A = this chain, B = another copy of it.
Amino acid sequence: MGLLGAIEAGGTKFVVAVADQDYNIVERAAFPTLNGEKTLDQVIAFFDQFEDIDAIGIAAFGPIDIVTGSRTYGHVLDTPKTGWSGYNFLGRMKAWRDIPYYWTTDVNGAGWAEFKTGAAKDVDNMVYLTVGTGVGAGIVSSGHLVSGYGHPEAGHIFLQKHPEDNYAGHCPFHGDNCLEGLAAGPAIEERWGTSAKGIADDDIAWKIEAFYLAQAALDYTMILRPDKIVFGGGVPHREILFPLMRESFAEQMSDYLNVPDLDEYIVPVANGDNAGILGCFYLAKTLVK
């Protein structure tokens, strides 16, 4: 048996690593994200050190084309990031070495790690939501990552505004209509004119934030009936959000649906910063016979 490879392709940082089949990391490197071609040069220089790689999992910032059979499968789609729109990420990797690749989104990578060995390891259905610079989701239903005509963009569902919130929203497409426009880190910072980290726990900012995240959790619940909703990313580092989200969820749901105990239902990630890389290894492993 050879090694497993992982590429956690973030918008600001790339992390690459190889591990043995038991997920013990053999080597790891990180570098800032440049344009597509230059970044992939570094990725390939890293993996070139290892002769015997069985498969590589790639979890990439999006939007990306993950629809098998599509003409642009494996490409990065339209993005404001310089030197990435239309870049044939997977094609470049395959041209380098023709081994199996698991090609998916960054949130699917981290979500899959939470599903396999993290906060959702004991369930079959989960939503992993990351709330940072943007909001994104990796969704598992009956043990499978949900995707269809493309990957989920569950950060852009429409929400009702909190009655005390006058903020105009920051989604370039949906303004204050969508979750990301109202509740991502930059929205918090623009709304209150200060860094999110500096806002006190008892500030109304977190009540409003919890209201939006809970309303999103409610919509995911109605549509998917997950066993667990796992929150990752920078914003949920704010621990007070968890009791506030559970309270708001119960209030908005208004006893309509049977859900698991909220302390077990609305939970933080368990894998921490390693989730992305771990998820890539787990996904790569599914390709190894």
Contact residues in B for A155 (Cβ distance below 8 Å): 222
Contact residues in B for A225 (Cβ distance below 8 Å): 146-153
Residue of B nearest to A65 (CB): B258
In the assembled complex, the Cα of A215 lies from the Cα of B177 at a distance in Å of: 11
In the assembled complex, the Cα of A155 lies from the Cα of B147 at a distance in Å of: 21
Please judge, given known A-B contacts A149-B225, A227-B148, whether A158 and B254 are in contact too, CB under 8 Å. no
Segment of A24-32, A137-145, A189-197, A266-274 in the binding face: A137-145
In the assembled complex, the Cα of A125 lies from the Cα of B142 at a distance in Å of: 15
* A288 interface hit (Cβ, 8 Å): no
Tally of chain A residues near chain B (CB < 8 A): 45
Contact residues in B for A146 (Cβ distance below 8 Å): 141-142, 223-225
Give how many copies assemble into the complex.
Answer: 2
Query: In the bound complex, do residue B148 and residue A226 qualify as a contact, i.e. CB atoms below 8 Å apart?
Result: yes
Query: In the bound complex, do residue A223 and residue B220 qualify as a contact, i.e. CB atoms below 8 Å apart?
Result: yes
Please judge, given known A-B contacts A144-B141, A160-B158, whether A152 and B223 are in contact too, CB under 8 Å. yes
Chosen A-B contacts, 8 in total, with CB atoms closer than 8 Å, are A77-B258, A142-B146, A146-B224, A148-B226, A153-B225, A158-B159, A177-B252, A220-B223
Q: Which residues of A approach B to under 8 Å, CB–CB?
A: 77, 124-125, 137, 139, 141-142, 144, 146-161, 173-174, 177, 215, 218-220, 222-227, 252, 254-260
